[in-house]
Structure 1
Amino acid sequence: MQRMGMMIGLEPDMVETYKELHASVWPEVLARLTASHIRNYTIFLREPENILFGTWEYHGDDFAADMARIAADPTNQEWWKLTIPCQRPLPTRAEGEWWATMDEVFHLD
């Protein structure tokens, strides 16, 4: 199992839209994440800074292949057309990242 932590900004005028979208995530998007071995996925919002913190666990054997399946899924692509305009990537993110990944430094089960 691999735990992930990531951060991204949220456009101030899109906060309510983002909250509304995530209050009723499309069942097909949730099914694709589950089929791609994603578990315990949570997104937190820190206002007024409008920073999103996401955390999830990967329980599969081929992370790259599962992420590729998520990216290739037509319904997920439609979902991203709605959510990506809400997001503001951090300027310090690594090249090729949208959400800036984080290193785990502590965990308690």
Structure 2
Amino acid sequence: MKRYTLALDLKDDPALIEEYERYHQAENGWPEIKKSIEEAGITQMEIYRTGNRLFMIMEVHEDFSFERKSDMDAANPTVQEWEQLMWKFQQPLPWAREGEKWVIMDKIFQLNTPKKNGHK
């Protein structure tokens, strides 16, 4: 299993942010989008928000590739419709490449606490 973390900004408009969050509630999600995520090899996905900044954690199969997911998404009209709709709410990070939405984040710190084995 591999893990990726990504970031993206929403337009800084409380009404748009509220609507974006409504689309991401489980009961409002599009089943075709969930299916496309799973078929791409993503086993777990979480999105967090602070202000207008989004943070995504993705856990994926070892053979996952962003290129393959991008090709699959480009060939799926429902995914294209969803992405076009989401772009109403989203804006690229200032350092994003042309056409890039979610930007992969670099891990800069990790804490590994040793497991206790019952000895003092």
TM-score band by shorter chain is 0.7 to 0.9
1:22 matched to which residue of 2? 24
* Aligned-pair identity (%): 34
Match status 1:53 vs 2:55 = yes
What is the root-mean-square deviation of aligned Cα atoms in Å? 1.9
TM-score normalised to structure 2 length? 0.77
1:40 matched to which residue of 2? 44
1:104 matched to which residue of 2? 107
Between the aligned partners of 1:101 and 1:33, the Cα distance in structure 2 is 17
AA aligned to 1:93 is: A
Quickly say closer, same or farther: Cα 1:68–1:99, change in 2 above 3 A.
same
**1:33-61 superposed Cα distances (whole Å, 9 cap, x missing partner):** 101111210110102xx101111012152
After TM superposition, give the deviation of residue 107 of structure 1 in Å. 6.8
How many pairs were matched up? 106
- Moved >3 Å (runs of 4+): none
* Bigger share in helix: 1
Gapped runs of 5+ residues in structure 1?
none
Quickly say closer, same or farther: Cα 1:16–1:65, change in 2 above 3 A.
same
Match status 1:85 vs 2:72 = no
